[in-house]
Chain A
Amino acid sequence: MRREVPLVLTAIVGITMIIAHFIPPLNILKNLFEDWFFIIAAFAIYLGILNLILINGDKIYKKQKGWPFGVVVILGFLVITVIGIFFSGGKSFQDPGTPFYYIYMNLYYPLSATMFALLAFFVASASYRAFRARNVEASMLLGAAFILMLGRVPIGYWVSAGLGHALAYAADWIMDFPQTAGQRAIMIGIALGVVSSALRVILGLERAYSAGE
C-alpha cells in the first residue's frame, strides 16, 4: 500500500490536471488539487523549519565540525521570527520602520548581496583561465563573448563611435538572432524532456519522488 497509494494518487492528479486544461467543467477537480497543493506547500514551510532546527541542533549537541555556525543559524532564525511576530507595533512586519525591516535592511540585505557579488571575482578569474582560442569553436565563442562584453556596456558604444557604433549593434544582433535561435532550440529540447519526464511520473515508471521505491 505504501507504494501503490502514492502512485495511484499521482496518476489521478496528473491526468486530471492535463484533461482539465481542455475540459473546463473538470476545473472543479483541478481547483481541489491545487488547494491540496497550497496546503502541502504551507506544511513544507513548517517541515523546513523543523528540519533546520533538528539538523543544526544535532550538530551543536554532538559538537560536530562548524557547530558554532549552527548556533548562529538557530539564533538568527529565532531572533528574526520573534521580532517579526511580536515587535512590529501593530504594523505589517514588512513595513518600513519595523524592527524586522531594520534587520532585513542592515543584516540580511548586505550579506545576501555580498555573497552574490563575489561571483564577479570568480567569473573574472575563470574567464582568464578558461577563455582560450584553442580551436575554431572556442574562437567563435571567444569572439562572441568579446563583442557582448564590450558591446553591452557604454565602452563598446564609445569605442566603435567612428564605425557607427558597430560594436553595440553587433552585440544586439548576436542577442536577437544567434542567441535567440540557440535559446529556442534549448527550450524546445527542455520542453520535450519535461513532457517525457512528466509522463513517466504519471505512468508510475519514474518513482524517485517516492523515496526511490
Chain B
Amino acid sequence: MNETTNQEKKTFWEKLLSIDRRIIFLFIAVAISVPLFFKTSLDMPVSPVVQEVYNAIDKLRAGSKVLVSFDYDPSSMPELQPMAESFFRQCFRKNLKVIIMGLWPQGPLQANIALEQVFKDEDIKAKNLQYGIDYVNLGFTAGNEVVIDRMGHDFRESYPADSRGTPLSEIPLMKGVRNYDNIDLILNLSAGYPGTMEWVQYAVDVFHVKLAAGNTAVQAPSMYPYIQTGQLAGVLGGMKGGAEYEIAIKNPAKAVSYMFSQAIAHAVICFFIIIGNIAFFSLRKKKTS
C-alpha cells in the first residue's frame, strides 16, 4: 500500500517537473494580459537613479538645448517608448529645445510616434510648438560611434540636413549649435549597440558632455558602473524606470499601468520557480531514501 502511494507521489512530482511548457505559456499569457484590462495606478517610490535623470532635466533653464538619441526599434517599444513620451513632456513643459536623432534606422520614427502622442496633451498642444523652432528631427545616419565622435566636432559633419532634407543652417533651432559645447544635456534611449555605452565612451569621456540614459531592463544593469563614476547622470531602467519617471514628472501613463501586468507576471514566474524547486527536492529526497 505504502509502495503504491510512493509510486503515485513520485509520478506526480515527475509530472510536475516535466510539465508541458504550453501550460506555463498559458499562465504567463493570462498573467500579462488580464491586468492590462484593469486601470490601476500603482504607488511606488522613485529610485535615486531615476530621480537624477528627472533632476538633470529639471535644473535646465527654459530655452536650453537637449539632444535625444533614439537608438532602439519597435521590439523594445513597451519599455522605451513611455520614457520617450515622458521625456518630451518634461522638456516641452519646461520650454526646452529638443534635438532628435537616431543611430538606429527606426529610431527617428519612434520619436515621431512619441511626439504624436505627446502633442495630444492639452497643455502641450496649447504651447503651439513649431518644428524647427522648438524641436527638430535630424533623422538617422549610418556610422554608429563614428557619428557620435564627428558630432563632437561639428553636427553638420554627421547631419548636413534634418530628416526632411532641410540644411541645418536653415533651421532656426540649429543656429548657434555647432557641437556638444552648445548642448546642455543628452538623453540616450537605447536597446543595445550602438547605444549608451558608445555615448559614454565617445561623447562623455572625450567631450565631457552631460548624459542621462533610458535602457531596457536587460541592458540597464551594465550602466550602473557609469553612474557611480559620474559618467552618467542617471538611468531609467526598463519599464520600472519608465514608470518611476512618469511618477516623477507627475504624469502616470502607460508604464505605470503596464507595471501591474509586469508585477503579476513576475509573481507567476516566482510561483513556478517555487513549485519547480519543491518538486525537485521531493524527487531528490525520495531517490536518496
From the candidates B106, B153, B268, B281, name the one contacting A124 in the complex (CB within 8 A). Answer: B268
What distance in Å separates the Cβ of B16 from its nearest Cβ neighbour in chain A? Answer: 10
From the candidates B142, B149, B262, B268, name the one contacting A42 in the complex (CB within 8 A). Answer: B142
In contact, B225 and A187 (Cβ under 8 angstroms): yes
Nearest 5 pairs between A and B by C-beta? A116-B75, A153-B263, A112-B74, A180-B224, A92-B164
Once the chains are docked, how many angstroms separate the CA of A195 from the CA of B266? 39
From the candidates A34, A42, A150, name the one contacting B267 in the complex (CB within 8 A). Answer: A150
What distance in Å separates the Cβ of A29 from its nearest Cβ neighbour in chain B? Answer: 14
Instruction: Write the chain A residue with the least CB distance to B223.
Output: A183
A108 an interface residue at 8 Å Cβ cutoff? yes
Provided the pairs A38-B143, A180-B225, A183-B222 are in contact, do residues A128 and B24 lie with their beta carbons within 8 angstroms?
Answer: yes
Additional pairs, 7, CB under 8 Å, beyond known A105-B113, A150-B267: A38-B146, A112-B73, A127-B272, A153-B240, A157-B43, A157-B44, A172-B47
Instruction: Write the chain B residue with the least CB distance to A123.
Output: B269
- In the complex, per-residue mask of B167-185: 1 if CB is within 8 Å of any chain A CB, else 0: 0000000000000000000
What distance in Å separates the Cβ of B232 from its nearest Cβ neighbour in chain A? Answer: 12
A69 an interface residue at 8 Å Cβ cutoff? no
**Which residues from 268 to 289 on chain B have a C-beta closer than 8 Å to any C-beta of chain A?**
268-270, 272-273, 275-277, 280-281
A184 an interface residue at 8 Å Cβ cutoff? yes
B116: A residues at CB distance < 8 A: 96
Once the chains are docked, how many angstroms separate the CA of A198 from the CA of B124? 49
B37 an interface residue at 8 Å Cβ cutoff? no
In contact, B25 and A121 (Cβ under 8 angstroms): yes
In contact, A157 and B222 (Cβ under 8 angstroms): no
Instruction: Write the chain B residue with the least CB distance to A120.
Output: B28
What distance in Å separates the Cβ of B239 from its nearest Cβ neighbour in chain A? Answer: 9
A-B contact count (CB 8 A): 148
Provided the pairs A94-B163, A113-B77 are in contact, do residues A128 and B266 lie with their beta carbons within 8 angstroms?
Answer: no
B112 an interface residue at 8 Å Cβ cutoff? yes
- In the complex, per-residue mask of B7-21: 1 if CB is within 8 Å of any chain A CB, else 0: 000000000000101
**Which residues from 32 to 91 on chain A have a C-beta closer than 8 Å to any C-beta of chain B?**
34, 37-38, 41-42, 44-45, 91
Instruction: Write the chain B residue with the least CB distance to A115.
Output: B75
In contact, A154 and B24 (Cβ under 8 angstroms): no
Name 7 interchain pairs, CB-CB below 8 A, sorted by A.
A92-B139, A94-B112, A116-B75, A121-B25, A133-B277, A153-B263, A176-B224
From the candidates B109, B153, B264, B273, name the one contacting A94 in the complex (CB within 8 A). Answer: B109
A154: B residues at CB distance < 8 A: 42-44, 259-260, 263
What distance in Å separates the Cβ of B245 from its nearest Cβ neighbour in chain A? Answer: 15
Once the chains are docked, how many angstroms separate the CA of A17 from the CA of B267? 50
From the candidates A113, A175, A187, name the one contacting B75 in the complex (CB within 8 A). Answer: A113
The binding surface of chain B is classed by DSSP as: helix
A116: B residues at CB distance < 8 A: 75-76
Once the chains are docked, how many angstroms separate the CA of A127 from the CA of B272? 8
B109: A residues at CB distance < 8 A: 94, 101, 104
What distance in Å separates the Cβ of A104 from its nearest Cβ neighbour in chain B? Answer: 6
In contact, B270 and A149 (Cβ under 8 angstroms): yes
In contact, A124 and B28 (Cβ under 8 angstroms): yes
Once the chains are docked, how many angstroms separate the CA of A41 from the CA of B143? 6
In contact, B74 and A109 (Cβ under 8 angstroms): yes
A7 an interface residue at 8 Å Cβ cutoff? no
A168 an interface residue at 8 Å Cβ cutoff? yes
Once the chains are docked, how many angstroms separate the CA of A110 from the CA of B75? 8
B230 an interface residue at 8 Å Cβ cutoff? no
Provided the pairs A172-B47, A175-B224 are in contact, do residues A128 and B272 lie with their beta carbons within 8 angstroms?
Answer: yes
A129 an interface residue at 8 Å Cβ cutoff? yes
Once the chains are docked, how many angstroms separate the CA of A165 from the CA of B259? 18
Provided the pairs A91-B164, A152-B240, A180-B224 are in contact, do residues A37 and B270 lie with their beta carbons within 8 angstroms?
Answer: no
Once the chains are docked, how many angstroms separate the CA of A101 from the CA of B149? 30
A135 an interface residue at 8 Å Cβ cutoff? no
In contact, A180 and B280 (Cβ under 8 angstroms): no
